[in-house]
Amino acid sequence: MAHRSMTRRDFVRNCAAGVSALALGPLMTRDSGAAEGKRPNIVLIVSDDHGRGDLGCYGNPVIQTPNLDRLAAEGVRFNNAFCTSASCSASRSVILSGLYNHYNGQYGHQHAYHHFISFDRVKSMPVLLSQGGYRTGRIGKYHVAPEEVYKFDVALRGNSRSPVQMADNCTDFIGAADERPFFLYFCTSDPHRGGGKAEDLPYQPDRFGNRREGYPGIKEVPCKPEDVVVPDFLPDIPECRAELAQYYQAVSRVDQGVGHLIGLLKRAGKYDNTVVIYISDNGIAFPGAKTTLYEPGMNLPCIVRTPWQKNKGIACDALVNYADLTPTILDFAGATPRDYQFHGRSFKPVLQRGRAEGWDTTYASHTFHEITMYYPMRVVRERRFKLIWNIAHGLEYPFASDLWESATWQGNLQRGNKRYGKRTIDAYLHRPKFELYDLENDPHEVVNLADDPKHRNKLEEMKAKLKAFQKRTKDPWILKWEYE
């Protein structure tokens, strides 16, 4: 199904046609997500800055993520799942709204002086689930606003760096004697940078939340810097290895929280009627990933485990993105609203398939991280080619403050290296207006084909696609095609 070239109106009409007759009223249609008839509970776990390469089930031989690997073995993992903005607030707003953030208004960070908020017109996933008969709860990182727009019935408390404790704090919510199904939004602050520099360690890596006294219920899994897998987009220098080791430890903490949460679902007798989804908001918190729309910034872990999965443990090649999550979860819940349009679409139909035709193109749209970091990028990503439009290409690429200060970036600079991973530092900081990559032959996005006459047609075709996407999704930055 070539949905991406459909109009949004067509798409919504098709969606509405595809859901069944058990209407809840004028607003909702109800289509039991569970083939078995009962509407499932849904747990959406969002970790913070967890890269796709850093799970056992995605091929990392070192990092310890047994619980996530088990979840993937029971379900399906997506190899082409993308955030649409590689920044926490922006990405979470897309996850929770089904709308690109250039349209939902959460253009960048919500907190402190950044102060971006979404529009009141947004109908969010938790609000729609609540209207659809779900009880909704959230715990941990939130980072979107205003609260009325992203309203959950309850906000459970708990240190978002302490995932086992977070899970424990969900016990009553999960086990409540309430015949309504539940939706739980479970968001760790791990493995985000934080907690300061480890002055006591060689190369003084960021702690990534690790602390000497540990966290309740967590068996810390330290990793040696010499054992980590340094991905191609990072420099293989001791500072980077030291930071990756800290990061791995934080990831294992998330994994234990997930394991503990699943244990609680099982003990409450709910696991057999619960959908569990695991994603990360954006790429790893290192220059080259987070805040960029290069692959390490946007291609992320996405594991979906439903109790009715037949082809367990498969990898699905559909290109899905985070604007698809709200439609998908509402589809599970049978709570897809009528007369309201999302930018994404439900990927529930592809969960049993490894190869997913009709899911061959996706888009991304990033504008701000911090308010001071204006760097709008628009991306069209096909299976083989990818186009990035750097709208503010005249600017030096603006750093998130914590990434700029990182031991990895500063260490690489101080060593006088001209490259950072496979890319030159200069190319990283000074980007051309268009970047066109052949991901089959150049998976690290180093050879820009935008000026290559042989790829002129491809470039024009993808520019046209991008512009049509912007028009369809009412992107304010579309005017930048005309004039600055």
Binding test (CB under 8 A) with its own copies, winner from 16, 119, 155, 214: 119
Helices 66-74 & 238-267, crossing angle to 10 degrees? 60
Which residue pairs, CB below 8 angstroms and at least 24 apart, start in 155-159?
159/215
172 touching its own copies, by CB under 8 A: no
Binding test (CB under 8 A) with its own copies, winner from 45, 96, 117, 351: 117
Size of the residue set binding its own copies (CB under 8 A)? 26
Tokens of 339: 């007369």
Annotated active-site residue in 88, 223, 240, 316: 88
Tokens of 168: 């424990």
Among candidate residues 171, 193, 196, 195, the one with its CA nearest the CA of residue 184: 171
Site string for its own copies, 421-450 (x = CB under 8 A): --------x---------------------
Nearer to its own copies, 180 or 197 (CB): 197
Binding test (CB under 8 A) with its own copies, winner from 131, 168, 374, 448: 374
CA distance 6 to 14: 10
Give the pairing of strands 135-140 and 154-156.
Answer: parallel
Nearer to its own copies, 110 or 136 (CB): 110
394 touching its own copies, by CB under 8 A: yes
107 touching its own copies, by CB under 8 A: yes
Minimum gap (Å) between residue 396 Cβ and its own copies = 4
Tokens of 286: 């290192």
Radius of gyration of the chain (CA): 21
Minimum gap (Å) between residue 234 Cβ and its own copies = 20
CB 300 within 8 Å of CB 280: yes
90 touching its own copies, by CB under 8 A: no
Tokens of 221: 């899994």
Q: Which stretch binds its own copies (CB under 8 A): 172-180, 292-300, 325-333, 392-400?
A: 392-400
DSSP E strands: which ranges in 290-332?
299-300, 302-305, 314-316, 320-321
Burial bucket for residue 118 (CB in 10 Å: 0-12, 13-18, 19+): buried
Q: Which stretch binds its own copies (CB under 8 A): 81-89, 222-230, 284-292, 475-483?
A: 475-483
CB 444 within 8 Å of CB 422: yes
CB 111 within 8 Å of CB 142: no
The H or E element containing residue 167 is helix 163-168
398 touching its own copies, by CB under 8 A: yes
Binding test (CB under 8 A) with its own copies, winner from 353, 444, 465, 480: 480
88 is catalytic: yes
Q: Which stretch binds its own copies (CB under 8 A): 88-96, 147-155, 339-347, 472-480?
A: 472-480
Binding test (CB under 8 A) with its own copies, winner from 183, 399, 420, 469: 399
Evaluate the omega torsion of the peptide bond into residue 337 and state whether it is cis, within 30 degrees of 0.
no
Nearer to its own copies, 133 or 398 (CB): 398
Binding test (CB under 8 A) with its own copies, winner from 76, 329, 392, 436: 392
Active site residues: 88
Binding stretches for its own copies (CB under 8 A) = 105, 107, 113, 115, 117, 119, 370-372, 374, 392, 394-399, 401, 404, 429, 476-477, 479-480, 483-484
